[in-house]
Amino acid sequence: MIKEFHEKLINQEITSEKLTEDYFDKIEQKDGEIQAYLSLNKEFALDKARSVDKKIKKGEEIDLLAGIPCAIKDNICVDGLRVTAGSKILENYVSPYDATVIKKLKEEDAVFLGKTNLDEFAMGSSTENSAYQTTKNPHDVSRVSGGSSGGSAAAVAADLCAYALGSDTGGSIRQPSSFCGAVGLKPTYGLVSRYGLIAMASSFDQIGPIAESVEDAAIVLSRIAGGDKNDSTAIKSAETVYENCLTGDIKGLKIGVPKEYFAGVGLDPEVKNIIEDAIKKYEKMGAEIVDIRLPSSEYALATYYIIMPCEVSSNLARFDGIRFGQSIEKEAVINENLILQDIFFKTRAKYLGKEVKRRIMLGTYALSAGYYDQYYKKAQKVRALIRKEFEKAFDKVDVIVGPTAPTPAFKIGEKTQNPLEMYLADIYTVSANIAGLPAISIPCGSARIEGKELPVGLQLMGKWFGEERLLNAAHAFEIY
Ligand code: GLN
């Protein structure tokens, strides 16, 4: 889609201004129902589009992404625009700077249509934890779009943007992509700078693309990847042009199928069949299918749901009613008896949502003296074990496949009363974050439920910084 738009732009068959206006029209028609966007930046976007049109008229060379409208998850900072992270505590907060990924996209003249909905501070699997709205699944509006990047995935699926950025801490790019029928890539930890991403759990967080095709995801990745002096964990230099690695030839590629990913009780039988068919398809394409074992997989979810809240409790301490966002400070001035701690407590009590509070409390508990060894330290040990198992597995295979999520999109409201059930939606995605591996979800079929076709995603995981091979394997499936 990106290349087609690019061709049309440089051949002057369409202007970026028209393309951008068309997207805003579609948003106006459809987003009342889908509710993918939290805010739109019409003037800002059209200004940029017109400036790209001028460049084209002058015969200047433009990048593939120039003039092409995209959507940005609302936990990524864009200078001068509101960034809420889906929380009331940042309701009126305007970012004073650009995230590194935004800076990079701006250098390529990308057009930003608006900011998309997410679970509050990216904590959730359905966008139902957003303080603002629930994003509907474009395939069935009685179902969730997935989360936390549900707004971005739904915007791509409903064609309300050409591509989008999401963030993935435990599956937030891949799971909504699976639910909405989009392609979602979580890059290797350290490939894309996290500077300007509102932190959830810093040792897991990565920004990545959600797109209509693997090629589009590769094009975006090539432009957002690379080391950054503002993020010491972004270590890889940006030399690879990922879209040029998509040959579609996967003969001899070794694909690992972990037994554990198919033994779980929660795996929907129809999803299981679709994934097994996808694996057979790979075999027909010339890949070698290898049975592998990842025995510690069964501890992945528990490990994630210990370490993640610990990091959340630390990262969210900054939202204290003093430095960022909303505050009950004004009330404090009226009531002279309020002390500093009251400002912290009351601001956080009033403006943070239930799930965010739950995780802050869990994390604080797991980090407290006496429990630290029992929970946090132990989880870190299991994390090392999981990572080692992947290292061993990748001695034998090039990529590992399985389902992205155990079920297709579930009904709105179905899991909101039971957080543990909601957490189970992440069972297949958290391992890649625990180990820091790159992983992609691609559409591989659909399940027919209540008369609707609901997309099912296939997850492929690659070696550390093995995005070239991973993307090529995904691309091969798509074009087969
Ligand atoms: N659904 C997972 C969670 O709630 C993942 C979130 C994410 O990747 N941001 O933690």
Look at 165-169, 186-190, 236-240, 244-248 and tell me which has the smallest mean pLDDT.
236-240
HSE-CB of 302 using CA atoms within 13 angstroms: 10
Domains in the chain, number: 1
Ligand 1 atom nearest the C-alpha of 118 is 9
Q: How many CA atoms lie within 13 A of 222 on its CB side?
A: 19
Q: Report if residue 391 sits inside a domain.
A: no
Q: Is 392 a catalytic residue?
A: no
- pLDDT score at 324: 84
pLDDT, averaged across the chain? 95
Give the residue-averaged pLDDT of 59-65.
97
Which member of 172, 177, 296, 313 is catalytic?
172
Q: Which residues contact 211 (CB under 8 A, 6 or more apart)?
A: 1, 2, 156, 163, 164, 182, 183, 184, 217, 220
Report which ligand 1 atom has the smallest distance to the Cα of 201.
9
Q: Give 250's pLDDT tier (boundaries 50, 70, 90).
A: very high
> pLDDT of 367-407, one tens digit each?
999 999 999 999 999 999 999 999 999 999 999 999 999 99
DSSP string, 94-126: B-SS--HHHHHHHHTT-EEEEEE--SGGG--SS
CATH code: domain of residue 55: 3.90.1300.10
- Are 208 and 470 within 8 A, CB to CB? no
Return the structure tokens found at 434.
């625990």
Instruction: Measure 89 CA to ligand 1 centroid, in angstroms.
Output: 19
Asked whether residue 8 is assigned to any structural domain, the reply reads yes
121 alpha carbon, distance to own chain's centre? 12
For 141-155, 256-270, 291-305, 360-374, which range has the lowest pLDDT when averaged over its residues?
A: 256-270
Q: What is the mean pLDDT of residues 74-90?
A: 97
Note whether residue 119 is domain-resident.
Answer: yes
For 132-147, how does the pLDDT look when each residue is reduced to its tens digit (9 = 90+)? 999 999 999 999 999 9
In order of 117, 122, 297, 411, the CA distances from 37 in angstroms are 6, 15, 35, 20
pLDDT at 108 over 70: yes
Structure tokens at 226: 């690379």
pLDDT value of residue 64: 98
Q: How far is the C-alpha of 321 from the C-alpha of 90, rounded, in Å?
A: 10
DSSP letter at 376 equals: I
Please identify which of the residues 87, 148, 222, 296 carries the catalytic annotation.
148
The residue from 16, 48, 73, 213 that is catalytic is: 73
Tokens of 240: 């690879």
pLDDT computed for residue 340 by the predictor: 80
* 172 assigned to active site: yes
Ligand 1 interacting residues, C-beta cut-off 6 A: 122-125, 148, 168-172, 200, 308, 426
Shortest-distance atom of ligand 1 to CA 304:
10
Residue 15 lies in a domain: yes
For ligand 1, the distance from its centroid to the CA atom of residue 129, given in whole angstroms, is 11
Look at residue 325 in the predicted model and tell me its pLDDT. 85
Residue 326: per-residue pLDDT: 87
> Mean pLDDT over residues 269-278, rounded?
97
pLDDT value of residue 475: 98
The confidence score (pLDDT) of residue 469 equals: 97
232 preceded by a cis bond (ω within 30 of 0):
no
Indicate if the pLDDT at residue 72 is higher than 70. yes
**Given pLDDT bands bounded at 50, 70 and 90, which one contains residue 322?**
confident
87 carries an active-site annotation = no
Tens digit of each residue's pLDDT (9 = 90 or more) over 170-184: 999 999 999 999 999
Give the percent of the chain with pLDDT over 90.
91
Which pLDDT value is given to residue 193?
98
Residue 100 domain boundaries: 2-245
Decide the pairing of beta strands 163-168 and 140-144. unpaired
Determine if the pTM surpasses 0.85.
yes
Ligand 1 pocket, mutate which of 75, 76, 127, 172 (most atoms under 8 A from CB): 172
Residue 408 and residue 181: Cα distance in Å, rounded?
10
Average pLDDT for 253-272:
92
Residue 191 lies in a domain: yes
Residue 333 reports pLDDT greater than 70: no
Task: Please say if the pLDDT value at position 358 is more than 80.
Answer: yes
Q: What is the pLDDT of residue 335?
A: 61
CA-125 nearest atom, ligand 1? 1
Q: Using CA atoms, how far apart are residues 157 and 138, in angstroms rounded to an integer?
A: 7
237 phi, psi to nearest 5 deg: -75, 155
* Residue 28, in any domain of the structure: yes
Q: Give the mean pLDDT of 267-286.
A: 97
- In 124-253, beta strands by DSSP E: 136-137, 140-144, 163-168, 183-186, 206-211
The helices-and-strands tally (H runs, E runs) of the chain is 17, 13
Rounded to the nearest angstrom, the distance between the alpha carbon of 192 and the centre of ligand 1 is 18
The runs of H, that is alpha helices, within 225-299 are 260-263, 269-284
Q: From CA 149, how far away is CA 123, in angstroms rounded? A: 10
Q: What is the mean pLDDT of residues 404-425?
A: 94
Report how far residue 292's alpha carbon sits from residue 373's, in angstroms, rounded to the nearest whole number.
Answer: 32
Residue 43 lies in a domain: yes
> Which residue of 116, 121, 123 sits with most ligand 1 atoms within 8 Å of its CB, as the best mutation to test the pocket?
123
Residue 329 confidence (pLDDT) above 90:
no
Task: Kindly state the average pLDDT of the residues 250-265.
Answer: 92
| Per-residue confidence (pLDDT) for residue 331, from 0 to 100 | 63
Sign for the CA dihedral angle at 226, 227, 228, 234 comes to positive
* pLDDT over threshold 80, residue 338: no
User: Is 381 a domain residue?
Assistant: no
